[in-house]
Structure 1
């Protein structure tokens, strides 16, 4: 199975994060580790929320990348 993140704005529209976007991960933990390391950089490129997909199936999300107040 492959794991991917769908990168979105606040309206759920896709966001192109350029070189920061990584297309596939071999496991859920690899995908989650990556988002934990790179989320601040993604926010700077216009990504507001992400959804985790396993082989195209939504696992969870959308999850905001902005700190809760």
Structure 2
């Protein structure tokens, strides 16, 4: 099992993986810790929201990366 994030721009289109890619994680906890540490940087790079994936299955999201949301 691999946990990963999919990034979405403000207009709802996915961020191309070749522009911004996240590492894969062995556990959900590792993935969630990483997003907690990286969300500001992702936001400044045009990411509006994220989806958590377990392999290719969407677990939750989209989750907005907006501190006021």
TM-score band w.r.t. shorter chain: 0.7 to 0.9
Q: Which position in structure 1 is the counterpart of 2:38?
A: 38
User: 37-46 or 7-16: which moved more?
Assistant: 7-16
Partner secondary structure for residue 26 of structure 2: coil
Within 1, Cα distance between the matches of 2:56 and 2:9? 19
Moved over 4 A (4+): none
Q: How many residues align?
A: 67
Higher helix share: 1
Within 1, Cα distance between the matches of 2:62 and 2:15? 13
Gaps of 5+ in 2: none
Gaps of 5+ in 1: none
Within 2, Cα distance between the matches of 1:49 and 1:8? 5
Partner secondary structure for residue 47 of structure 1: coil
Q: Which position in structure 2 is the counterpart of 1:12?
A: 12
